[in-house]
Amino acid sequence: MVRILDYNGQEAERTVTVAGIRSLKNSGTRLSQVTAGSAEEAHAAEAAGIEMVVCMAKAVTAVRQGSTKLFVTAAIDFDGAVTPDDLLGAAFEALTNGADAVITARSMECVQRLADDDVPVMGHLGFVPKKSTLYGGVRAVGKTAAEAQDLWAEFRQLEEAGAFAVECELIPAPLMAEINRRTALATISLGSGPDADVVFLFMSDICGEGERKPRHARAYADLAGLYNRIMAERVRALTEFRADIASGSFPDDDEVSTLDEAELQTFLATLDES
């Protein structure tokens, strides 16, 4: 753990810092990152030894309730943050709420606006889901020499804009390895192979919560199956409850309270007198 002062000037401990992430370049050491959207998920990530989580900006407070130690990155491209100044305001709010960094897939101008105010900012290159129509659908980005050249140019622009790290999504693994050796940015691989400073997967994919598993993911559990069994058990219990009501078998004598017969008769007598 590293002792820091957070954005509010309060003493805290973190699994890693921005400087620590930067220092990973070419060290052979890789960190892990997962998504988290709740205190429960953040607590599980910390307990498992995960170093970094990413969440929506609005979830930072909840995530911090689950872990005071994880390095938390807030996604700030949502909730009406349109202009560079809007993004800056959203970034400051996220940092105040406990985030250690922010991530944006917006323009280099937006990244630079944040970096100019010393906001630790990550970019997002390769496949960016909300821009999928520009790529013709969900696919790896950088599979041709021309596309790889364009991608490398974006890495250099992002570096010049002042980002300290970049999420690299669905970039072919051999290309990612070459870029990682050449960029000063800390690289976070999501479906881009092992040659990065941080390896990232969605918690829902790791835990097997979805009906469809992305190609780049590995499921280590089957929570979807567990949830289905829980739902089936819930429906079974409710069905039996409804049937017992219809048959008159619920509630029985063990499930109600009673009173002394004399007390009941006294009460009834007062009713008759009124």
How do residues 104-160 score in pLDDT, each as one tens digit?
Answer: 999 999 999 999 999 999 999 999 998 899 889 999 999 999 999 999 999 999 999
**Tokens representing 177?**
């390895």
On whether both 47 and 110 belong to a single domain, the answer is yes
On whether both 191 and 210 belong to a single domain, the answer is yes
What distance, in Å, lies between the first and last C-alpha atoms of the chain?
A: 75
Residues 6+ apart with CB under 8 A from 151: 125, 126, 141, 142, 171, 175, 179
On whether both 98 and 83 belong to a single domain, the answer is yes
Q: At what angle do helices 145-161 and 108-116 cross, to 10 degrees?
A: 20
Structural domain count, the chain:
2
- Of the candidate ranges 76-85, 108-117, 144-153, 264-273, the one whose mean pLDDT is the lowest: 76-85
CATH of the domain at 146: 3.20.20.60
On whether both 67 and 106 belong to a single domain, the answer is yes
46 as an active site residue: the answer is no
Structural domain span for residue 141: 2-221
d(CA 74, CA 31): 18
pLDDT tens string 35-48: 999 999 999 999 99
On whether both 83 and 198 belong to a single domain, the answer is yes
Residue at a domain's end among 221, 239, 258:
221
**Residues across the chain:** 274
Select which of 41, 93, 169, 209 is catalytic.
169
Residue at a domain's end among 178, 193, 221:
221
Q: What residues does 199 pair with on adjacent strands?
A: 32, 189
What does residue 22 show for φ and ψ, rounded to 5 degrees?
Answer: -60, -35
d(CA 63, CA 68): 8
Q: Rounded to two decimals, what is the model's pTM?
A: 0.90
On whether both 150 and 250 belong to a single domain, the answer is no
β-strands 71-75, 52-56 pairing: parallel
On whether both 216 and 233 belong to a single domain, the answer is no
On whether both 245 and 167 belong to a single domain, the answer is no
Band the pLDDT of 211: cuts 50, 70, 90. confident
On whether both 250 and 132 belong to a single domain, the answer is no
On whether both 142 and 240 belong to a single domain, the answer is no
Sign of CA dihedral 213, 136, 56, 183: positive
On whether both 145 and 242 belong to a single domain, the answer is no
* Amino acid 81: pLDDT: 76
* Contact between 194 and 30 (Cβ < 8 Å): yes
* Amino acid 82: pLDDT: 84
On whether both 204 and 245 belong to a single domain, the answer is no
